[in-house]
């Protein structure tokens, strides 16, 4: 089945209402057993017209090579990009749901241009006094959210590759912290490292 191409429909509707700086927000890394959850906020020019735009999709539908090639193009075209993280200790102490929201809020705070509207994949950030809209499967519908998903995914993958050098026993560069046979076998053999989410049941049970 052909993947859905995100559009500027939501952004254009908001521009017609007078909003100028519309940020798309998405996060990656909710499910892995290790590493941070990473959120990105991306504000694109309302009149963006570049040849690579038709390649933009939800990051899950793109190959690593495609995501890496789009990353600098999005960086160059964007008015502003903000990135936020919740590290494993925050995930363990606050829970993954709150940690995701914290990462999203940090990404928005780290934008060099304050947004006047937020388009958020799935979640609503009621703690922020910024007009916003939550869109189910927004990374497949909104170009701004899809670009945020690419920025967040590439950023997190790079973090996991760096963690693989620090903790070489776990194969983080290959599975990016997700639960694979290789990963669970490494946990049984070596126990957890500081990059692991010790509150997640598979980690907690394997290191007992």
State yes or no: pLDDT of 153 exceeds 80: yes
State yes or no: pLDDT of 183 exceeds 80: yes
CA distance 190 to 73: 40
Q: Mean pLDDT in the chain?
A: 94
Does the structural domain 9-156 have CATH classification 3.30.420.10? yes
| Rounded-to-10 torsion of CA 40, 45, 51, 52 | 0
State yes or no: pLDDT of 196 exceeds 50: yes
Percent of the chain with pLDDT over 90: 88
Q: What is the DSSP string of 166-197?
A: HSTTS-HHHHTT---HHHHHHHHHH---TTB-
Other residues' Cβ atoms within 10 Å of the Cβ of residue 52: 11
Give the CA distances from residue 141 to residues 27, 56, 122, 128, in Å, rounded to whole numbers and listed in that order.
15, 11, 12, 23
State yes or no: pLDDT of 202 exceeds 90: no
State yes or no: pLDDT of 35 exceeds 80: yes
Q: What are 92's two structure tokens? A: 């363990």
Give the CA distances from residue 135 to residues 1, 63, 119, 142, in Å, rounded to whole numbers and listed in that order.
22, 24, 7, 9
Name the helix (H) or strand (E) containing 163. Answer: helix 143-166
Other residues' Cβ atoms within 10 Å of the Cβ of residue 20: 13
pLDDT per position as a tens digit, 74-107: 999 999 999 999 999 999 999 999 999 999 999 9
Q: Determine the average pLDDT of the residues in 176-184.
A: 95
- Look at residues 97, 96, 123, 95 and name the one whose alpha carbon lies nearest to residue 108: 123
Confidence label for 208 from pLDDT (cuts 50, 70 and 90): low
> Residue 120: beta bridge partners?
25, 134
pLDDT per position as a tens digit, 114-139: 999 999 999 999 899 999 999 999 88
Q: Determine the average pLDDT of the residues in 146-152.
A: 97
Q: Are 101 and 89 in contact (CB under 8 A)?
A: no
What does the domain layout of the chain look like in residue ranges?
9-156
pLDDT at 138: 87
């Amino acid at each position: 089945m052909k993947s859905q191409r995100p559009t500027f429909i939501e952004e254009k509707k908001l521009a017609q209402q007078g909003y100028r700086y519309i940020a798309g927000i998405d996060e990656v890394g909710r499910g892995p057993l290790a590493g941070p959850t990473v959120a990105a906020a991306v504000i694109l020019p309302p009149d963006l017209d570049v040849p690579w735009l038709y390649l933009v999709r939800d990051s899950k539908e793109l190959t690593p090579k495609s995501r890496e090639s789009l990353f600098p193009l999005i960086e160059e075209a964007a008015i502003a990009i903000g990135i936020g993280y919740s590290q494993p200790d925050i995930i363990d102490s606050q829970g993954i749901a709150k940690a995701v929201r914290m990462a999203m809020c940090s990404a928005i705070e780290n934008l060099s241009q304050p947004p006047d509207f937020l388009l958020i994949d799935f979640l609503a950030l009621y703690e922020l006094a910024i007009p916003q809209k939550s869109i189910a499967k927004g990374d497949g519908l909104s170009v701004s959210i899809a670009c945020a998903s690419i920025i967040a995914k590439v950023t997190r993958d790079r973090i996991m590759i760096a963690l693989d050098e620090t903790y070489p026993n776990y194969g983080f560069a290959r599975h990016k912290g997700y639960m694979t046979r290789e990963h669970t076998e490494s946990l049984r053999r070596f126990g957890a490292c500081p990059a692991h989410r010790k509150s997640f049941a598979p980690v907690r049970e394997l290191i007992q």
